[in-house]
């Protein structure tokens, strides 16, 4: 009886060792392939539309003009912008537009107000600079004629 128990223990021990060995070999022989798709093409932020759209934009002295720019950026969740007028003021001056779904779809709007000077200016400009935070900085200049 004792011999049969020893044989039975050896049998189970060999069974466990062989199962462990074959499972280890099976895991060791498996090939795991990892694929990644990395986009190296950064998309430039685009100004799709400017409202008002005529050039130059004619504006009366000492008045207010509201602007709206439709922008798109296919791979950024936000775009930082700076608005600089040549000789007068606008609001806001800079900000970050965080509107990922609309930036992707090309329906994000950047709105600002321009305050014209008291004097006549034929060479007044407003420069809008977009920065997507990756690698692209894009500028657009709006020409104004203040009468």
Domain total for the chain?
Answer: 1
Distance of alpha carbon 73 from alpha carbon 108, whole angstroms: 9
Residue 18 counted as domain residue: no
Residue 13 counted as domain residue: no
Helices (H), the chain: 2-29, 100-105
Residue 9 counted as domain residue: no
Given this model, what pLDDT does residue 25 score?
A: 56
Helix (H, G, I), strand (E, B) or coil at 21: helix
Residue 116 counted as domain residue: yes
Q: What is the pTM of this model?
A: 0.67
Residue 142 counted as domain residue: yes
Residue 79 counted as domain residue: yes
- pLDDT, averaged across the chain: 84
Residue 6 counted as domain residue: no
Given this model, what pLDDT does residue 125 score?
A: 94
Q: Give the domain CATH number at 87.
A: 2.60.40.10
**Do the Cβ atoms of 67 and 114 come closer than 8 Å?**
yes
What is the span of the domain harbouring residue 56? Answer: 46-146
Q: Is there a cis peptide before residue 125, judged by omega within 30 degrees of 0?
A: no
Query: How would DSSP label each residue in 43-81?
Result: PPPEEEEEES--SSEEE-TT-EEEEEEEEE-TT-SEEEE
Distance of alpha carbon 26 from alpha carbon 44, whole angstroms: 49
Which residues neighbour 13 within 8 Å (Cβ) at sequence distance 6 or greater?
A: none
Residue 54 counted as domain residue: yes
Given this model, what pLDDT does residue 89 score?
A: 85
pLDDT digits (tens, 9 = 90+) for 12-49: 777 777 776 666 555 555 556 555 555 555 788 999 99
């Amino acid at each position: 009886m004792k011999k049969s128990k020893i044989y039975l223990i050896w049998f189970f021990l060999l069974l466990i060792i062989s199962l462990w060995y074959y499972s280890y070999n099976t895991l060791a022989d498996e090939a795991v392939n990892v694929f990644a798709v990395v986009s190296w093409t950064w998309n430039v932020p685009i100004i799709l539309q400017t409202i008002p759209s005529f050039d130059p934009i004619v504006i009366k002295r000492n008045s207010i003009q509201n602007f709206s720019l439709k922008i798109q950026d296919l791979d950024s969740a936000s775009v930082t912008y700076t608005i600089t007028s040549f000789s007068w003021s606008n609001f806001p001056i800079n900000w970050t537009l965080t509107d990922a779904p609309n930036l992707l779809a090309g329906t994000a709007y950047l709105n600002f107000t321009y305050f014209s000077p008291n004097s006549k200016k034929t060479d007044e400009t407003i420069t809008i600079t977009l920065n997507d935070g990756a690698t692209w900085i894009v500028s657009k200049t709006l020409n104004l004629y203040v009468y």
